Amino acid sequence: MERTSDQLDHRIVGDDMQCVEITLDPGETVIAEAGTLMMMDAGIRMQTIFGSGDGKEQSFMDKLWGAGKRVLTGESLFMTTYTNDSPERRTAWFAAAYPGKIMALDLREFRGKLVCQKDSFLCAAKGVSIGIEFSKRLGRGLFGGEGFIMQKLEGDGQVYIHAGGTTVQKELLPGEVLRVDTGCLVAMTEQVDYDIEFVGGIRNTLFGGEGLFFATLKGPGHVWIQSLPFSRLADNIIAAAPKMGGKGKEEGSILGGLGRMLDGN
């Protein structure tokens, strides 16, 4: 089947703090999340847009609805397109805001649709629609970590998503079940049945440190799991930050006192 989306050439650069280099032929366009641009060559035109970003003709109300759906997922009201207006190939670079891996995925290999967590989308070829996926299950919506809403990427183009830490992929067989920490789920194909399961047990609940619920993923389908969700990274940074009054977490330890002496405190 002929591709209707722009076909992008790319190169993923780096190891743990990656960026993606997108090379645009004359007239080609890449759609990106606001704030992800790293740098770009002269000759690339940047434009802020409403809507889903698929490049199709839409009425103002359709664009407003598309922008409103993005707000529901916690993303910016706007998206940005980068179009090569020059007669030669030009390059733009995009990067995520925290350590992890960037994955280049072709939607044609996944029946034209992926469901992903709301902050994993980085950029995509023009022609890909970025929408929302509502949860029809109350438990999943209330306790699933991602709420009632996840992002939906549809089309036949290339998409680039970001996952924190290291990424593990699993191909689930029909009926196979995988239990995942709710924050560690990055993306899944449309066929995967996603629900929430209570951890169970008083000791597990109070002292397990893994939260009250698992995400249960039932095959068939493909899933992407991240080792370091941004929420977990943020919690660890906050826990290690100096407490009010300038006293750090190491208060009372020999190393803590030595460190303050060396700092002149």
Residue 173 burial by Cβ neighbours in a 10 Å radius (0-12, 13-18, 19+) = exposed
Domains of the chain plus CATH, in order, are 9-165 (3.60.160.10)
What is the tens place of the pLDDT at every residue in 101-135?
999 999 999 999 999 987 889 999 999 988 887 65
The reported pTM is 0.78
What is the tens place of the pLDDT at every residue in 42-52?
999 999 886 65
pLDDT of residue 93: 98
Q: What is the DSSP string of 206-241?
A: HHSSS-SEEEEEESSEEEEEESS-HHHHHHHHHHHS
What is the tens place of the pLDDT at every residue in 209-247?
455 678 899 999 999 999 988 777 777 788 777 654 445
pLDDT of residue 137: 53
What single-letter DSSP state applies at residue 109?
A: G
Q: How far is CA 30 from the centre of its chain?
A: 17
